[in-house]
């Protein structure tokens, strides 16, 4: 599993200056490539490399060969995630991405760890820089294998965010699986009947959106600044809620003795949420993705196996008899007598569906929840 450690660097003013120059050159090189990506509709790393490498090398001699490779990598990655997030339509021009000098990517050819210092590439040669090392950083250095890194500047201080490859924790025994449904009406529901409502989250976002609309219609420079501050605040808030809820879900999986956590493949989630634009603007896709990432991250660290299943039919299928039921808002009803919270029903299907493809796994369907449970009784007032 991968974990990132943030190392605060003890830079001299000269080193700080060299990093600033590097960051500027790096982002300029990235921006230089964008036009080629757009014209050739090319974001495959290897193809882009062939397309731009010599040109960029010539234009930015101080960057050196390895840094230019890193820049190509960065641009290709940025377009890949843009494509995964918003899609790039075949008949539409490729959107421009603007790179800022906020961070520089390093790999084993451009940095190394030498005892209690990093040796980092700069346009004026390698430089050795010390770093602060807390308990987390010490553990990572001792147990993990350092991989790629990002040099960033936050409020005038330079950090190296280093990704480590760590051995996976021993898998938990047993065959019990907890199903997790990520919804729109509720943030999440688990197959043992717990519902995590995003009520507070949604209310807050409504407030943010109202404020944002007011500022957007204003259009002045001050209101644009304010807008930026608000969206940062909003992001941090969603992040906080996602952290808390994912933590609670993993704790629950451990509590019931599950060894597997199963959820839907969220790359498809937009397709099966049928909602008006007003609802859709509330929780953007990144919030779902972040939530799933957090769940996966925490689950794997706890030794849970994480599986993603095809979300098709998880919401209309009855988790008791397998027939087609009726879903009206947060109620699910089936002619077999199953009456459940619709998200809980979906999460049970998620647990069940994968069992069909790998029969060794079990389903968390506690008998008291299997038939006609009153949804209200199991709702959690987590938020
Ligand atoms: Zn049924």
**How many A from CA of 292 to the centre of ligand 1?**
28
**How many A from CA of 70 to the centre of ligand 1?**
54
Query: If 0-12 CB within 10 Å is exposed, 13-18 middle and 19+ buried, where does residue 383 land?
Result: middle
Give the pLDDT score at 149. Answer: 95
**How many A from CA of 332 to the centre of ligand 1?**
10
Q: What is the pLDDT along the chain (383 residues), one digit of tens a residue?
A: 888 999 999 999 999 999 999 999 999 999 999 999 999 999 999 999 999 999 999 999 999 999 999 999 999 999 998 887 777 888 889 999 999 998 999 999 999 999 889 999 999 999 999 999 999 899 999 999 999 999 999 889 999 999 999 988 899 999 899 999 887 667 889 999 998 876 566 656 666 667 777 777 777 777 777 777 767 777 788 888 889 999 999 999 999 999 999 988 765 544 444 444 444 444 455 677 788 889 998 999 999 999 988 777 788 889 999 889 988 878 899 999 999 998 899 899 888 875 444 333 333 333 323 333 332 322 222 22
**How many A from CA of 204 to the centre of ligand 1?**
37
**How many A from CA of 328 to the centre of ligand 1?**
15
**How many A from CA of 100 to the centre of ligand 1?**
54
Give the pLDDT score at 284. Answer: 54
Q: Cα separation of 4 and 148, whole Å? A: 10
Give the pLDDT score at 304. Answer: 95
**How many A from CA of 325 to the centre of ligand 1?**
6
């Amino acid at each position: 599993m991968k974990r990132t450690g943030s190392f605060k660097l003890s830079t001299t003013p000269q080193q700080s200056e060299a990093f600033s120059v590097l960051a500027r050159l790096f982002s300029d090189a990235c921006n230089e490539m964008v036009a080629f990506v757009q014209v050739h509709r090319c974001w495959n790393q290897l193809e882009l490399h062939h397309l731009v490498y010599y040109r960029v090398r010539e234009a930015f001699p101080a960057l050196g060969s390895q840094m230019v490779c890193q820049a190509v990598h960065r641009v290709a990655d940025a377009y890949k995630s843009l494509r995964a997030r918003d899609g790039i339509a075949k008949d539409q021009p490729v959107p421009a991405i603007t790179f800022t000098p906020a961070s520089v990517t390093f790999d084993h050819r451009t940095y190394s760890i030498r005892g209690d210092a990093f040796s980092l590439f700069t346009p004026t040669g390698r430089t050795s820089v010390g770093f602060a090392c807390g308990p987390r950083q010490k553990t990572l250095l001792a147990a993990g294998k350092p991989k790629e890194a990002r040099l960033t500047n936050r409020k005038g201080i330079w950090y190296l965010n280093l990704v480590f490859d760590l051995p996976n924790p021993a898998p938990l025994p047993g065959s019990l699986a907890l199903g997790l449904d990520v919804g729109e009406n509720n943030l999440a529901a688990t197959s043992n009947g717990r519902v995590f409502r995003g009520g507070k989250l949604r209310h807050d976002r409504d407030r943010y959106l109202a404020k944002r609309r007011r500022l957007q219609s204003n259009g002045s420079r001050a209101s644009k600044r304010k807008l930026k501050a608000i969206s940062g605040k909003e992001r941090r808030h969603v992040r906080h809620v996602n952290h808390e809820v994912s933590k609670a879900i993993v704790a629950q999986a451990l509590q019931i003795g599950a060894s597997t956590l199963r959820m839907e493949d969220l790359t498809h989630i937009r397709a099966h949420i049928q909602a008006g634009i007003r609802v859709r603007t509330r929780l953007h896709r990144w919030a779902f993705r972040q939530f799933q990432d957090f769940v996966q991250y925490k689950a794997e660290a706890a030794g849970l196996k994480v599986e993603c299943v095809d979300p098709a039919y998880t919401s209309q299928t009855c988790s008791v008899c397998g027939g087609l039921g009726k879903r009206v808002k947060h109620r699910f009803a089936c002619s077999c007598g199953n009456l459940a919270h619709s998200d809980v029903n979906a999460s049970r299907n998620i647990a069940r569906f994968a069992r069909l493809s790998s029969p060794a796994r079990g389903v968390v369907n506690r008998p008291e929840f299997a038939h006609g449970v009153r949804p209200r009784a199991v709702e959690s007032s987590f938020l």
